[in-house]
Structure 1
């Protein structure tokens, strides 16, 4: 980072931070100005929850840095209008945390939209098809998202969804970076097999998509409890109650929100079901199976 004027933060001599857009346990996302190309961008700053991580846990710091670099590389491999575009990465080397420069999306998140009220089933189905298409593009190059949830779906000004935050994506050649014994993902939206410590697969992302759509139309989460442990226990042991306001989405939610990932329909069938629920023309069937979601991991 460089400072060219008092109070003015410029990253890599090029990206001037304008204002903070949001943040979480892994850091902050900033609105920034690209001084070279004269455009606004989003810049993700990694800030570990424990500021002493690098000093007292160098291995943890190294893993965090590698995870951020992996996010950038994962995003760079997926070219799709419903996946956030990465422009640049600033990496100062060992002992530093990278910054990821991405396209700026100004329509808020799906979570922001749901905070104002539930979606109608047809609207949720249309949005679900686009997020599904983003997942299929990621799965096709061997990437699972692993954290599909409303906060990680950003909206363009016209309302079209864009999947972001691939920071814990599982890439086939780099799965060893998942911390042993850690809860990697959002408990509310994790598939049961991932909660139980199994590898999961594309079908696990489809569970998360379905749970997100369930919450979108029902305006509540059916398995959320008062604590993380209680929520994880509910995901593992309790059946998802049938939705009451899903209308034409009921069939796809019921089909996907089952404990056995092998019993869930594949992405191609899910797309057809969502198309029907959205009142759109369903794509022709090609005889796919649940394994059509992506190559086996």
Structure 2
């Protein structure tokens, strides 16, 4: 069977998934003889090149900037970027990443809720990845269980920072596309405010809530109803979170300024991961 080869080196084997930013493939690196994940970056509006060429150029440039910044991180909980294929004006970049084979956090949650200690440990790992990205000026904007991959040894890897590059794309208003996951998006971002690292922390909090409770507290039957619930309805107190409850309460505050900073959050998660430790004071 003939398979498509990218850049004369990466043979596409199997489509792994897709979203607002494009498709992810399992691929074979014919030079180094190893499997990799290949992300095919594409705008949400296929006609963007035609009706907004300036926006398309800016999108390409921003995708490349963010991919290069992430490639320099070398962080154990950020998916490693091996290579970037830049076709120039003829197409959008392909990002070559490590292939993480243990499934996603979403797959794990579908098998049942996790213990508060497990979730707290995972939360610290994802928080460390977010802190590393924030330190180089990148906000994730789409923290959710499907974007947390699990290595075979159980360690987590945060992936798909791509929403950051398409959020400002002018094609979004032209086509009405909705980029991101409304049930995990911070209220201020739904309201059109760019947000800051605290907005990623809301999404982290909602993800941890779902992991420990096994259900999403504000998901409704339609996207619009979910958006309205996130904007207007209080998050019901968790029932299974135990020592993780103060963390969830602190993160899921509607005022971004009231959410804990990264240092405080890490101490709170450490205490929840080790219930025998002395808990830190509430922020």
Instruction: Decide: shared fold, TM above 0.5.
Output: yes
1:259 aligned to 254, 260, 270, which one? 254
What residue in structure 1 maps to residue 81 of structure 2? 86
Matched, 1:162 2:157: yes
Query: Conserved in 2, the CA contact under 8 Å of 1:214 and 1:253?
Result: yes
Match of 1:279 in 2: 274
Counterpart contact for 1:67–1:168, Cα < 8 Å = no
The count of residues paired between Structure 1 and Structure 2 equals 280
Alignment correspondent of 1:114 = 109
Is 2:203 the counterpart of 1:191?
Answer: no
**1:95 deviation in Å?**
3.5
> What secondary structure, in the 3-state scheme, does the structure 1 residue paired with 2:18 have?
strand
Q: TM-score, normalising length from structure 2?
A: 0.89
CA distance in 2, matches of 1:186, 1:212: 11
Q: What secondary structure, in the 3-state scheme, does the structure 2 residue paired with 1:211 have? A: helix
Match for residue 12 of structure 2 among 10, 17, 32: 17
- C-alpha deviations, 1:47-80, integer Å up to 9, x for none? 4455444335535543543443244123224221
Equivalent residue in structure 2 for 1:58, among 50, 53, 61: 53
Alignment partners' CA distance in 1, 2:277 and 2:64: 38
- Seen in structure 2, the aligned counterparts of structure 1 residues 74 and 227 have a Cα distance that, compared at 3 Å, is farther
Q: Which has the higher contact order (CA 8 A, sep 6+)?
A: 2
Match of 2:148 in 1: 153
Residue 283 (structure 1) shift: 11
Residue 199 of structure 1, CA deviation: 2.1
Work out which of the residue numbers 71, 76, 79 in structure 2 matches 1:76: 71
Secondary structure class of the residue paired with 2:88: coil
The unaligned stretches of length 5 or more in structure 2 are none
Cα deviations across residues 232-263 of structure 1 (Å, max 9, x unaligned)?
A: 11111111110011111001001110101111
What is the CA deviation profile of residues 91-131 of structure 1, one whole-angstrom value per residue up to 9, with x for unaligned ones?
Answer: 11114121110111111111111111111111011101100
Aligned to 2:92: 97
Among residues 186, 204, 208, which one is paired with 1:209 in the alignment? 204
CA deviations 1:17-69 (Å, max 9, x no partner) are 12222223432211111111122111011344554443355355435434432
The within-5 A match list for 1:116-155 is 116-155=111-150
State the distance in 2 between where 1:78 and 1:7 align.
Answer: 36
Cα pair distance change 1:60/1:16, threshold 3 Å: same
The residue that corresponds to 2:235 in the other structure is: 240
- Secondary structure, counterpart of 2:163 in structure 1: coil
Q: Secondary structure at the match of 1:29?
A: strand
Among 218, 222, 226, the residue aligned to 1:227: 222
Contact 2:55 2:170 (8 Å CA) reproduced: no
Matched with 1:3 is: none
Give the whole-Å Cα distance in 2 for the aligned partners of 1:239 and 1:57: 40
